[in-house]
Copies of this chain bind each other. A is one copy, B any other.
Amino acid sequence: MSVIEKHTSVEAQAIAAKKAAKKISLLSTEEKNEALHIIADTLEKNTSRILHANERDLQLGKEKGYDAAYMDRLALSKERIFDFAEGLRQVAKLEDPTGKILSNWTLDNGLLVEKVTVPLGVIGMIYEARPNVTVDATGLALKSGNAILLKGGSSALSSNKAIVEVMHEALNTTKIPKDAVQFIASTDREATQQLFTMKEHIDVLIPRGGGSLINAVVNNATVPVLETGVGNCHLYIDVEAEVEEALNILVNAKTDRPAVCNALETAIIHKEWLDKNKEQLINTLNEEGITVHGDETALSYFPDAILANEEDWANEYLSLDLAVKTVESVEEAIDHIERYGTKHSEAIVTENRDTAKIFMNLVDASALYHNASTRFTDGGALGFGAEIGISTQKLHARGPMGLPALTTVKFLMSGNGQTR
């Protein structure tokens, strides 16, 4: 059964994935790593085939009038495909997260208890245009002993299909059954609804994309969800912030890559600091081409600023726009973040350790920064090697999710007839 034929039901695919997951869970680390290398090599050998499929997506995208940023995320090149392959080889180098004995102890009656990490089983990945997720998520899933159901955005359909076909050809020569990687080509609602509710076959859903995609999954899924990353990130510049440091961090967090989830969206500035450093701040923002949307007080400092409304505080710009909120205390800053933050990454700049401590203790987010840029909330930057997404929820995994987030545990008890 070719798993990417249009008429294969999503349920049949999930069942096949579950069977395959059992087989992978028994493979050695070496066998899994070998498979990742073979997929990497096969992707490199088939670049022209993948690029040909990508052309079709780009053509359709042009006809539909997608914007430049969207087209850029969709577009592949020989270099990008080689990067995908290199990513798989990096994942092969990472420590196997399964089979680790997290703790073990013996009860008074002699029963040995071991808490051991095991794969989750079947992962459902739901994502938007970026075809790199097709490869990255597959690599992380297989390395951690899981099967994966891939449901990518329809705008990248041809590219994703070609990539999965190539990965299947590669898997045919490895110990990992190709059924471990399932691509859901159907774009109808029923297929999505099935994916959301097949608790008996799918162990977790991971949505990666914009807020509306993530909300659709969270609100409709009965399968457990690992919620990832809308980042409405804030930087609080305290009255005791060192000027150069504050400006460097602000510029870096806002302008380094404005479209990513760990980019800065709102600067919360202490009024006294603003009053003292307005000229330097205004010059810096102007030089960087940053558009300010400010509250009433901020408007009195920034002549070109736009008055901020509820939308400005609540949403990500993902552009060179910046909301500016003025406050008179760290508590007021914390309240604003509590109201509008998305529990992703929040930063404070201050020379006062006590103020920093209050901020770090009371702000509820996955990553908190004292005198550093929010841009470090990233599996690669933090040294996790690779990430399947950034969790903004509190259960299971929070912050950048590396391979261990794709495992669960089993308690294994060995006895010689113990009863209670």
Contact = CB atoms under 8 A, between A and B. Distances in A.
Interface of A is mostly: mixed
Nearest to A111: B372
Interface stretch (A48-56, A58-66, A286-294, A392-400): A392-400
Given A361-B25, A393-B224, A419 B249 contact: yes
Interface string A52-96: 000000000000000000000000000000000000000000000
A382 B224 contact: no
Interface string A297-339: 0000000000000000000000000000000000000000000
Contacts of A420: 252, 256, 373, 375-376, 381
A186 B368 CA distance: 38
B376 A224 contact: no
Interface in A383-420: 383, 393-396, 398-399, 408-420
B413 A368 contact: yes
Given A26-B361, A375-B420, A417-B371, A411 B399 contact: yes
Q: Indicate how many identical chains form the complex.
A: 2
A367 interface: yes
A369 B107 CA distance: 14
Contacts of A195: none
Nearest to A242: B417
Interface in A26-55: 26
A204 interface: yes
Given A113-B382, A251-B419, A371-B414, 7 more contacts: A25-B362, A111-B372, A121-B394, A224-B225, A369-B415, A373-B418, A398-B410
